[in-house]
Amino acid sequence: MWEFLLEFLRMSAFGNLEVGNLIMIAIGLLFIYLAITKDYEPLLLIPIGFGMLVGNIPFAEGMGIGFREPNTVLSILYDGVNRGWFPPLIFLGIGAMTDFSALLSNPKLLFLGAAAQAGIFITLLGALALNFTAPEAGAIGIIGGADGPTAIFLASKLAPHLLGAIAVSAYSYMALVPVIQPPIMRLLTTKDERLIRMKPPRAVSKKEKVLFPILGFLATCFLVPGALNLLGMLFFGNLLKESGVTERLAVTARTSLIDIVTIILGFSVGVSTEARSFLTKESVLIFALGALAFSIATASGVLFAKMMNLFLKGDNRINPLIGAAGVSAVPDSARVVHVVGQEYDKSNFLLMHAMGPNVAGVIGSAIAAGVLWSVLRSMQ
Amino acid sequence: MWEFLLEFLRMSAFGNLEVGNLIMIAIGLLFIYLAITKDYEPLLLIPIGFGMLVGNIPFAEGMGIGFREPNTVLSILYDGVNRGWFPPLIFLGIGAMTDFSALLSNPKLLFLGAAAQAGIFITLLGALALNFTAPEAGAIGIIGGADGPTAIFLASKLAPHLLGAIAVSAYSYMALVPVIQPPIMRLLTTKDERLIRMKPPRAVSKKEKVLFPILGFLATCFLVPGALNLLGMLFFGNLLKESGVTERLAVTARTSLIDIVTIILGFSVGVSTEARSFLTKESVLIFALGALAFSIATASGVLFAKMMNLFLKGDNRINPLIGAAGVSAVPDSARVVHVVGQEYDKSNFLLMHAMGPNVAGVIGSAIAAGVLWSVLRSMQ
Amino acid sequence: MWEFLLEFLRMSAFGNLEVGNLIMIAIGLLFIYLAITKDYEPLLLIPIGFGMLVGNIPFAEGMGIGFREPNTVLSILYDGVNRGWFPPLIFLGIGAMTDFSALLSNPKLLFLGAAAQAGIFITLLGALALNFTAPEAGAIGIIGGADGPTAIFLASKLAPHLLGAIAVSAYSYMALVPVIQPPIMRLLTTKDERLIRMKPPRAVSKKEKVLFPILGFLATCFLVPGALNLLGMLFFGNLLKESGVTERLAVTARTSLIDIVTIILGFSVGVSTEARSFLTKESVLIFALGALAFSIATASGVLFAKMMNLFLKGDNRINPLIGAAGVSAVPDSARVVHVVGQEYDKSNFLLMHAMGPNVAGVIGSAIAAGVLWSVLRSMQ
Amino acid sequence: MRPGLFTLLLFLPTALLAQEPASRGHNPGGMVESLIFGLELTLLGMAIVFVGLLAVYLFMIVLRRTIVRQQTVHAAGATPRTTPPELTAEVVHAIALALYMDLRTFAEDDSDEITIHKITRPFSPWMDSSKTALIARNQMFGKRQ
Amino acid sequence: MRPGLFTLLLFLPTALLAQEPASRGHNPGGMVESLIFGLELTLLGMAIVFVGLLAVYLFMIVLRRTIVRQQTVHAAGATPRTTPPELTAEVVHAIALALYMDLRTFAEDDSDEITIHKITRPFSPWMDSSKTALIARNQMFGKRQ
Amino acid sequence: MRPGLFTLLLFLPTALLAQEPASRGHNPGGMVESLIFGLELTLLGMAIVFVGLLAVYLFMIVLRRTIVRQQTVHAAGATPRTTPPELTAEVVHAIALALYMDLRTFAEDDSDEITIHKITRPFSPWMDSSKTALIARNQMFGKRQ
Ligand code: NA
Ligand code: NA
Ligand code: NA
């Protein structure tokens, strides 16, 4: 009977199997394992991981299954990634669940979110040095924004052939934030700096919270219309949340809507990692550049905080650890900051302060994506 | 530093800025302000208002952002408005949340909802007199239906170039119902009429409620197949609600589904008000005609109620104030009726009676839209 | 006045009326009646029944309403049926609500779900004998799978012109499972067999439940990549449910998402039963073959259980009634098994045991659909 | 609602549809012709709206009578269910309360409370809890002071 | 499940796929040829369904054994966890109750209550509350009697 | 943040856009030219990111001052509302508790309970309850033993 089974297997889909598929399936299983046992970004790693299994079942070409063939179910589900309309809907939901109070109570933390975007541009330089074209380099650089939907959006516009590698790289490093960031944070700060206590956040009025999404939208999108799709939706969602009169819309945006899009987006991204197009030299380089991007982004945030301290006094000083939260990866990097801070002073609660640069980092990388899109889209 | 900033601003998107964009942004801000502070139709004015901000960021043509360019995110979101499939889904949700008991307990109130549709056709005549083409006139007339989704649906079919103006006009006047209707109601009624007490509604059995959507659908759509998309969905949603065995579908239809569609529909309609195509002589005329439409619709409803009273006796008589609720604008015009009624007699509760013509007005204007579509679609 | 009314009716849509439309409307009303009063599959029969009313309103061709005309609202809603992407989303939701514990605690019940698929293939033979083409015969045979989404998916791929008849036939017989199955079950079993008590299910650990969707997916889809769309989504949904870290996604998949798709899918299927294309000789044959399919599937399941008992001993023996649950029709056929079992022994609880073959039948018919698709799609 | 008017209306749609529509839409010829068309459409449209709702009305009347008759048959002997219940004082009070609650104004409460409790539980699809706990517990990054 | 039959089945798909498919689908040649094809497909299909579920079965057996072994290793010394728990009387009663509740009929309760309380809070996306309150409070439309 | 650097940056975009982009993207000419472009883009990009967030910052400052002034006007005489509330001990404890709950680990509890209670109420869109009840009650299939 085992003989028969083996023979049968040879004739079936096992016939098309390549080693690459097995490797990708193993990676998919690893993603699922990490999500379940380590709780690493499970809402994304599980859909992506299972999508990897689905995309690497070695079916024959032309069977009407693959996500690259027209009118297949997988291609229809992939449309929101392919044409880039899933990320703005996710930003709508994120806006409807984000509380900008931390930023409003201490606006200067915005600049930490700006500084951390240096990771994007230095990675772009690295990608250019490795002979990627300019649009590809821009799409790779955005991994340093540490923001999944932004990375998928820009990659779908500038380098759709690299989308799978860029998205998987971005989410992998976002999941690894607690591993990557602490050593860099410790290396670049003195013990005294890590012990800095920041003054408690001031009260933020309802009016400020309502006006913030409107003013924030006008301020950023007048400057960078290319960031309109992402920032427009982010601030729109936040207005739904803060207006006080559209609660039911905000609830739907941050529950059913974002969940439906997250399920299909994650699954589709996973499906798009078919071994033959994914296991390439480019993907390896993209993963290496992604690690660089996260490290530089973290370092830039911390160093900029130290620089700001040169101009600040007393309890206005910033604990430079929170600079690391400027990379986005909401809210993981803010938590990492908090936990590292508590290693040195159990009564120092940095989480609330770190949320400021954290959400500023989301805005910052969306602006950077808008700049890259505007400049690089004509070069494809 | 201010010099630098100004120079930078000149180079950025500020360079494409036209006065029209600023006007539209001001209108968008006004919508948001009215929604938040006056609670005027916030579930629609906030998405539309924010959409106006987004649509009037003066990005350059060909950047792959605008809702008229193919395959942009905004064009994808706009598809449901453009091809008219959002309004039927909204009607599905409205059906799943509408209780037709008020109508069932006093069916003659249906005719108030019919009479108020005179506003549609007289406005159509006005539009023809102002040299609009027949399909345009039909799309403008439907503003008098005081029903947002119906107006968007018909405008997308008959006059897509005027859709923004028609939708914004319809929603503006629906928000202004408490300002527009009371003077007309007072003008056309005597104090004695306003004091009429209607007899309490009779009990409505479950069977009647279950059979109503089925019979109502067959009665109206056999006559006017052109109303199939809207009325089919309205009655389908109501059957889901009343059948007693599809509660989970009705709940989803009146929560997640209608919310998701409302968010994207409102936002897209706002985006479509780009200044260059919106700030035209036509839009001004459409707003003027819209005011006419609402006034005539209100007057027709009230006068028809007075006419019906000529044939009715005793406690069967109708308080003519509730004729004003025949314009739809559910449930605002019913509330206006109630509040105006209470000014004259604190113990006269008209709200429940006014809900009858109110929902009848929705059916009436959908029928009128079906007639206009059938007759005018071949003339485009 | 009655004269006038009749004359008016003659001129309106009543002019296009054919007897067929009235028959279909009567069938639609029957579906709604059965759903409400008998609680037969109401979540599907109500949308399908109301869709039948909508699809058989006799509007004129070219009015821009029909589901076969391009860019109409009905054609847009029908897209998910037409291109087959609704059924996988429904499978996602089913996966997120299915508990495979019954199967895990007694894996040999899987084979009952396999045996019942004989109904599919024997019906296919019958359809070939009645001169249907091979792809049509495959699509008709899948009715024997007793699984609505699978039938719609395969019919949309192999025989889109028969989709309405196949879907309506499949759902009709699924609703009639309590009428069709018991006589066959009683005919093929002895009283002693019906009294067999099965040993209580063993405890199933969380790890088994988490690993099952992953291993089940790999095992089935490596063999039959053609089943990828349905089984991929089924097991993906189940992983979301069992992983323990993606609860919010599982909740959305089994509530809003599946509800929205169910509403539109059922409605569209109903709309597609327009009399002129539905009331044909083929549809009658399909209904006859469907009855055959359900009967053979039930018999195969029961007989296979009896055959397995030849090799099993003591309390490992299977009560052959549960073989009937292998047809799928989740969870109706399992309940039928339970109720029939209780007629003979009030203290014999078969429901939990019958859930095993029940969910196995879903997997089995998805595999069969994959085989049929792979072999027959090139013959269209 | 005299038959005469309605009989007239019956012929309007035929008349309308018999004409060449394209000649009216885009080349309106003259304002007068356009307005006549508009008037015809108005009469047709209002007639159909009324007839449509009249059909619904008739169905509703038939429906009510059928159900009342059924109920009377079913409830023969029992207390008749067809008389509408009167609005008692309690009901009126309940309505008044419901209306009061429904019409209550939108209160802008400009909160003075700090918003820390919101920040500490930012629920997000990117949420991840045990990861940081892991750091705290396992001390995986040496260099502890 | 004799190997002989299955070995035969292994050659069917190859045989099937080797032939020109178009000649079968649309020009069935004859009923006999068509039915032979159907029989081949039936055998192939049922075989694959069984093999597919057999694969799942084997995985499940392996899975269970692995987990049981792990648990035995972990729980060495403790009470063994591998024996399935017996159905106690309470459990049976709980099931009976659950079934009873699950199978209860759909009760058509034709309510006699007036539906006013529903009408007074019509929740809708077009809802708007403070507007009318505004009218009541501010008396913006003069002419009060 | 010296004006000199920023003034420079102002000219970069113009310079960039003036060049033929295609010659850079696909025919990078040389690595050096490509890297120079990358540097220009880096400076431009970082400048815009900072200016964008600076604009938000300025709006926020203006916003806060406006609101504070309004509040001061409104609350003239009353206790001033502009001083930020201090973190009291209770607040700190509340935060600590919230953090503890937030950071609690994901507990893998491998349940020993039988799962029967789940099986008895399989909620599904294909659910149907009274049908089987019907069988039980009506005995529609004769042959009862
Ligand atoms: Na970022
Ligand atoms: Na109306
Ligand atoms: Na099945």
In the prediction, which pLDDT does D132 show? Answer: 37
Which member of C92, C222, C246 has the closest CB to residue A43? C246
**% of chain A surpassing 90 pLDDT:** 65
| Burial readout E53-75 (b: 16 or more C-beta within 10 A, e: otherwise) | bbbbbebbeebbeebeeebeeee
- Which residues, at least 6 apart from C144, have a Cβ–Cβ distance to it below 8 Å? C117, C119, C120, C121, C122, C123, C290, C293, C294, C296, C297, C327, C365
**CA B262 to chain CA mean position, Å:** 13
In the prediction, which pLDDT does B204 show? Answer: 84
**% of chain E surpassing 90 pLDDT:** 6
Cβ atoms B65, A225 nearer than 8 A: yes
State the Cα–Cα distance between residues B27 and B83, nearest whole angstrom.
26
Distance B300 CA to ligand 2 centre (A): 12
Of the listed ligands, the closest to the CA of C117 is: 3
**Residues A252, A257, A259, A264, Cα dihedral to 10°:** 170
Residue D44 identity (one-letter amino acid): L
In the prediction, which pLDDT does A202 show? Answer: 77
Q: Do D42 and B364 touch (CB under 8 A)?
A: no
Which member of E110, E116, E131 has the closest CB to residue B205? E110
Q: Chain C interface, mutation test: which of F115, F120, F126, most C Cβ atoms within 10 Å? A: F126
Q: Where are the alpha helices (DSSP H) in A38-143?
A: 42-55, 73-82, 86-97, 101-105, 110-115, 118-129, 134-141
Q: Chain E interface, mutation test: which of A1, A4, A10, A248, most E Cβ atoms within 10 Å? A: A4
Q: Predicted confidence band at B9 (pLDDT cuts at 50, 70, 90)?
A: low
**CA D17 to chain CA mean position, Å:** 33
pLDDT surpassing 90 at residue A54: yes
- CA separation (Å) from A270 to A53, A74, A266, C242, C380? 8, 11, 6, 19, 32
Distance F65 CA to ligand 1 centre (A): 28
Q: Chain D interface, mutation test: which of C5, C6, C8, C240, most D Cβ atoms within 10 Å? A: C8
- Digit-coded pLDDT (tens) for C154-181: 999 999 999 999 999 999 999 888 889 9
Question: Tens of pLDDT along chain D (145 residues)?
Answer: 333 344 334 444 434 443 434 333 444 457 888 888 889 889 888 988 998 999 999 998 888 888 777 766 655 554 444 444 445 555 555 554 554 444 433 333 333 333 332 232 333 333 333 333 333 333 333 333 3
Cβ atoms F136, C336 nearer than 8 A: no
What are the chain E neighbours of C219 within 8 Å (beta carbons)?
52, 55-56, 58-59
DSSP state for residue A310 in the 8-state scheme? T
Chain D 72-111, CB below 8 Å of chain B: which residues? 81, 84-87, 92, 95-96, 99, 103, 106, 108
Mean pLDDT over residues B73-101, rounded? Answer: 94
In the prediction, which pLDDT does A374 show? Answer: 85
The pTM is what?
0.84
Mean pLDDT over residues B309-335, rounded? Answer: 88
Chain B 244-273, CB below 8 Å of chain E: which residues? 244-245, 258-259, 262
With an 8 Å Cβ cutoff, is C202 touching chain E? Answer: yes
In the prediction, which pLDDT does D138 show? Answer: 35
With an 8 Å Cβ cutoff, is C257 touching chain A? Answer: yes
Task: Give the residue among C228, F92, C116 at the shortest CA–CA distance from A13.
Answer: C228
With an 8 Å Cβ cutoff, is C187 touching chain D? Answer: no
Cβ atoms A92, A233 nearer than 8 A: yes
Distance F87 CA to ligand 1 centre (A): 30
In the prediction, which pLDDT does D23 show? Answer: 37
Establish, for the pair of chains B and E, how many residue pairs have beta carbons separated by less than 8 Å. 113
With an 8 Å Cβ cutoff, is E51 touching chain A? Answer: yes
3-state secondary structure of D142: coil
* CA of A335 vs chain D CAs: smallest distance (Å): 6
Task: Give the residue among F39, F53, F52, F54 at the shortest CA–CA distance from F8.
Answer: F39
Q: Can you read off the two tokens belonging to residue C329?
A: 């029709």
User: D8: part of which helix (H) or strand (E)?
Assistant: helix D3-18
Q: Where are the alpha helices (DSSP H) in E19-129?
A: 22-25, 31-74, 89-103, 116-119
Tell me what the pLDDT averaged over chain C comes to: 90
Q: Do B236 and C47 touch (CB under 8 A)?
A: yes
In the prediction, which pLDDT does C13 show? Answer: 62
Of the listed ligands, the closest to the CA of C360 is: 3
Distance B89 CA to ligand 2 centre (A): 18
- Digit-coded pLDDT (tens) for F42-72: 988 898 899 899 999 999 888 888 877 776 6
In the prediction, which pLDDT does D58 show? Answer: 92
Chain C 78-107, CB below 8 Å of chain A: which residues? 83-85, 88, 92
* CA of C291 vs chain B CAs: smallest distance (Å): 26
The neighbourhood of ligand 3, an ion, using CB within 5 A, equals: C 145-147, 328, 361, 365
State the Cα–Cα distance between residues C83 and B274, nearest whole angstrom.
35
- CA separation (Å) from B137 to B143, B144, B290, B367? 10, 12, 11, 17
- Digit-coded pLDDT (tens) for A263-272: 999 999 999 9
- Digit-coded pLDDT (tens) for B104-151: 988 999 999 999 999 999 999 999 999 999 999 999 999 998 899 999
* CA of F129 vs chain E CAs: smallest distance (Å): 5
In the prediction, which pLDDT does A86 show? Answer: 96
In the prediction, which pLDDT does F8 show? Answer: 38
What are the chain E neighbours of B329 within 8 Å (beta carbons)?
126
Q: Where are the alpha helices (DSSP H) in B106-147?
A: 110-115, 118-129, 134-141
- Which residues, at least 6 apart from A83, have a Cβ–Cβ distance to it below 8 Å? A156, B71, B73, B76
Mean pLDDT over residues A202-218, rounded? Answer: 90
Task: Give the residue among B289, B314, B319 at the shortest CA–CA distance from B301.
Answer: B319
Cβ atoms A155, A377 nearer than 8 A: no
pLDDT surpassing 60 at residue B6: no
State the Cα–Cα distance between residues F31 and F82, nearest whole angstrom.
57
| Half-sphere exposure (Cβ direction) of B328: Cα atoms closer than 13 Å | 32
Establish, for the pair of chains A and E, how many residue pairs have beta carbons separated by less than 8 Å. 15
**Picking from A248-252, A282-286, C101-105, C259-263, which range would have the lowest pLDDT averaged per residue?**
C101-105
With an 8 Å Cβ cutoff, is B219 touching chain D? Answer: yes
Cβ atoms B331, E122 nearer than 8 A: yes
Q: Chain A interface, mutation test: which of F16, F43, F53, most A Cβ atoms within 10 Å? A: F53
* CA of A3 vs chain C CAs: smallest distance (Å): 16
Q: Do A1 and E10 touch (CB under 8 A)?
A: no
* CA of C369 vs chain F CAs: smallest distance (Å): 20
State the Cα–Cα distance between residues A52 and A28, nearest whole angstrom.
5
In the prediction, which pLDDT does E139 show? Answer: 33
Chain E 126-145, CB below 8 Å of chain B: which residues? 126-132, 134-136, 140-141, 143-145
Which member of C25, C73, C262 has the closest CB to residue B249? C262
Distance F52 CA to ligand 1 centre (A): 14
Distance A223 CA to ligand 3 centre (A): 58
Q: Do F48 and A223 touch (CB under 8 A)?
A: yes
3-state secondary structure of D116: helix
In the prediction, which pLDDT does E115 show? Answer: 32
Q: Do D115 and A204 touch (CB under 8 A)?
A: yes
Q: Can you read off the two tokens belonging to residue C378?
A: 């090139």
State the Cα–Cα distance between residues B133 and B144, nearest whole angstrom.
18
Q: Predicted confidence band at A199 (pLDDT cuts at 50, 70, 90)?
A: confident
- Digit-coded pLDDT (tens) for F106-144: 333 333 333 332 232 333 333 333 333 333 333 333 333
Cβ atoms C116, C342 nearer than 8 A: no
- Which residues, at least 6 apart from B113, have a Cβ–Cβ distance to it below 8 Å? B301, B326, B328, B356, B357, B358, B359, B360, B361, B362, B363, B364, D53
With an 8 Å Cβ cutoff, is C291 touching chain A? Answer: no
In the prediction, which pLDDT does C118 show? Answer: 93
In the prediction, which pLDDT does A239 show? Answer: 97
With an 8 Å Cβ cutoff, is B2 touching chain F? Answer: no
Q: Do F125 and C330 touch (CB under 8 A)?
A: no
With an 8 Å Cβ cutoff, is D51 touching chain C? Answer: yes
With an 8 Å Cβ cutoff, is C140 touching chain E? Answer: no
Tabulate helix, strand, coil % of chain D (nearest 5). Answer: 65, 0, 35
Better-scored residue on pLDDT, A37 or E1:
A37
Q: Do D129 and F102 touch (CB under 8 A)?
A: yes
State the Cα–Cα distance between residues A91 and A217, nearest whole angstrom.
13
Tabulate helix, strand, coil % of chain A (nearest 5). Answer: 80, 0, 20
